[in-house]
Amino acid sequence: MRQGRVWRGGSGWTYIHHEWLRKQRFDDADTQFAFDNGYGEVLSLETMRDRFDQRITDAAARPQWHAAVHG
């Protein structure tokens, strides 16, 4: 799937890495389709993770969890 393309700009999954990924274009339509769908799934999973993180943060602020969270 990499088509010889390897990220060498530092750590992965950073803003600059995402910018690089968004710029990737493939001559073959099927390869582009596979890449776009795969990258779209990554973005969806990141969004879901962020929603869960926020939900956990919100829950941790509730009085019933104060002792468990803040020891």
Q: pLDDT of the chain along its 71 residues, tens only?
A: 678 999 999 999 999 999 999 999 999 999 999 999 999 999 999 999 999 999 999 999 999 998 898 88
Reading the block at residue 39, the tokens are: 């990258």
Reading the block at residue 63, the tokens are: 């009085």
CA distance 50 to 22: 20
Q: What is the value of pTM for the model shown? A: 0.81
The answer to whether the beta carbons of residues 39 and 5 sit under 8 Å apart is: no
To the nearest whole number, what is the mean pLDDT of the chain?
Answer: 95
